Amino acid sequence: MTLTKFLKLVFLLLSLSTVVCSEPSRPWEELLPDFQEAALTLQRESRIPGLAVGIVHKGEVVYLKGFGVRKTGTTLAVGPDSVFQLASCSKPITATALASLVGKGTIDFDQPVSQWVPEFQLSDPWVSNQVSFADLLSHRSGLPTLGGDYLENLGLKRGEIFQRLRYLEPAFPFRTGYAYTNFGVTAAGEAAARAAGLDFAGLLSRELFQPLGMASTSARFTDYLNASERVFSHQIEGGEVFVTERNPEAQAPAGGVSSSARDMTKWMLLHLQKGNWKGRQLIPAETLARTYRPHILVGSSPTNPSSNAFYGLGWRLSYDGQSRLKVQHGGAFVMGIRTSVTLWPEEDLGIVVLSNVFPSGLPEALTELFFKGYRSGDIDLELGRIVQEKVAQAILDMGETPTSAKGLESPPPLPLDSYEGDYTNSYYGVSQIVQKNSGLEILLGERRFPLRHASGDTFVAQVKPHTFEDLVNFQVQFCRDSGGRISGFHQFGLQGPNWFKSSL
């Protein structure tokens, strides 16, 4: 996906109306049944199999309910303890755990991470040695948008991905711009875990999940798979619903946490109570508050200054016309998950929405519907439909097709064995082209893709649908040297350096 398309979605989500009141305009016992009816209607209309919602206000859980089924075609009901993958809603959870370590003096947000994760390398060695926890949690390291994600799709492990990021050109000079990266946040989480002498899942468990009693929450993929109330992910395509599975283990600090609506209400209450849990100060209030402080500008509108959007430490931040802070994050797996968590610290109010289908704008729609109703007392179903449609379309627009191969008219193809061999690329490593089943196949990372001939020396790598988070069909255009032999190939459609040189 392109940076422009990605930011368009960010601006849309942050431009939604955010003004609320300190108390609901109608009593909860009147407002919430109307909200629930709207949620059920929108769920049914959007064909989302399962949904869970939790709302907290002034230290209490005022609403907690599941809807629908955990897996399409079954009667496995979604409840408050059903376990969803959170996708990028993992980022503010990671930031919370790191705030706990900062409060204990184990790390400092402004410390460079290089002493703990020396394998995490960016294109500039000086930046690699200086980039801090705060830089990575706020996406201002210069690492390009979603850098490393394609390597994860190709089956590479976390450490290998860290080492290869140095071959990506920076999106911005260090600390001057915002580019959303999963593996930047992952490096911060990994460094913090090593500083604490734990693995990352153990860090989150010790600092958050155990003290808060979040028994259904984990950063281990195996725990999600083994959960007794596991919620399955789904994709909608062409009117059909497909059951999918996404393993985010490599980027666990950025997208690998799984949880229930009940557990998420506990975590929201920790934030709204300024780090205090049942009379115990788990995290210093001032340390937690820093995660809500703007660290980088995401976008702004010259005609509407109140639409300024920022990124804090693991959180998206925005302010309404009365300078009231909205703290929010969304999550999405193309492989079938959409989530959202939103807090208004000054209002002592928060909502989490978990759903198990992609694409969908339902989490944002229900959040907007709820806040509008909280302010006015009216649950505007049509507003929910409009928001859901806009967000869903923005998500679909983020997808991009592989760039067409460019150049002069190609000569006729060579015999297939002429293309066989090893090809090297600084970012992707060694790729192999082999003959299989009367055609060609490309081995890239740990994955194999059949190559369909397009024209001349150009082939299309066929990516199996509903299997990968980011990968779609991409083009392989072989090049010949002056003697007519294959000297390498260009790939079109994947991130990073596109030239693969023949080792022959």
Report residue 3's pLDDT band, with 50, 70 and 90 as the boundaries: very low
Is residue 57 predicted with pLDDT exceeding 90? yes
Report residue 78's pLDDT band, with 50, 70 and 90 as the boundaries: very high
Helices (H), 113-181: 125-130, 133-137, 149-153, 158-164
In a domain, 101, yes or no: yes
What percent of the chain is predicted at pLDDT more than 90?
82
Summarised one tens digit per residue, pLDDT across range 171-203 is 999 999 999 999 999 999 999 999 999 999 999
* Residue 191: burial class (beta carbons within 10 Å; 0-12, 13-18, 19+): buried
In a domain, 409, yes or no: no
pLDDT of residue 408: 39
Clarify whether residues 341 and 482 are in a common domain.
no
In degrees and rounded to multiples of 5, residue 68 shows phi and psi of 75, -155
Both tokens assigned to 232: 């399955």
Summarised one tens digit per residue, pLDDT across range 339-377 is 999 999 999 999 999 999 999 999 999 999 999 999 889
Distances (CA, A) of 123 to 141, 149, 155, 501: 11, 17, 22, 21
Report residue 291's pLDDT band, with 50, 70 and 90 as the boundaries: very high
Clarify whether residues 91 and 47 are in a common domain.
yes
In a domain, 408, yes or no: no
pLDDT of residue 114: 97
Clarify whether residues 432 and 300 are in a common domain.
no
Clarify whether residues 388 and 436 are in a common domain.
no
DSSP 212-265: HT-TT-BS-HHHHHH-TTBPPEEEEETTEEEEE----GGGHHHH--EE-HHHHH
Clarify whether residues 218 and 325 are in a common domain.
yes
Is residue 288 predicted with pLDDT exceeding 90? yes
What percent of the chain is predicted at pLDDT more than 70?
91
pLDDT of residue 237: 86
Domain extent, residue 475, equals 416-502
Report residue 12's pLDDT band, with 50, 70 and 90 as the boundaries: low
In a domain, 481, yes or no: yes
pLDDT of residue 398: 62
pLDDT of residue 300: 57
Is residue 492 predicted with pLDDT exceeding 50? yes
Give the end of a domain, one of 366, 398, 430.
Answer: 398
Gap between the Cα atoms of 111 and 416, Å rounded: 53
Residue 144: CB partners within 8 Å, gap ≥ 6?
Answer: 3, 168, 169, 170, 171, 179, 181, 495
Summarised one tens digit per residue, pLDDT across range 92-144 is 999 999 999 999 999 999 999 999 999 999 999 999 999 999 999 999 999 99
Clarify whether residues 63 and 194 are in a common domain.
yes
Clarify whether residues 439 and 297 are in a common domain.
no
Clarify whether residues 120 and 172 are in a common domain.
yes
Summarised one tens digit per residue, pLDDT across range 217-252 is 999 999 999 999 999 999 998 888 999 999 999 999
Domain with 306 in it: what CATH number?
Answer: 3.40.710.10
Is residue 495 predicted with pLDDT exceeding 90? yes
Clarify whether residues 224 and 170 are in a common domain.
yes
Report residue 305's pLDDT band, with 50, 70 and 90 as the boundaries: very low
Gap between the Cα atoms of 18 and 306, Å rounded: 10
In a domain, 410, yes or no: no
Distances (CA, A) of 459 to 138, 282, 424, 436: 39, 56, 18, 14
For the chain, give the mean pLDDT.
91
In a domain, 405, yes or no: no
Clarify whether residues 352 and 231 are in a common domain.
yes
Clarify whether residues 485 and 394 are in a common domain.
no
Gap between the Cα atoms of 44 and 36, Å rounded: 12
Summarised one tens digit per residue, pLDDT across range 243-287 is 999 999 999 999 999 999 999 999 999 999 999 999 999 999 999
pLDDT of residue 405: 40
Distance of CA 69 to the CA centre of its chain: 23
Summarised one tens digit per residue, pLDDT across range 369-407 is 999 999 889 999 999 999 988 888 877 776 544 444 444
In a domain, 407, yes or no: no
8 A C-beta contact, residue 411 and residue 500: no
In a domain, 334, yes or no: yes
Clarify whether residues 92 and 236 are in a common domain.
yes
Counted domains in the chain: 2
Domain with 437 in it: what CATH number?
Answer: 2.40.128.50
pLDDT of residue 76: 98
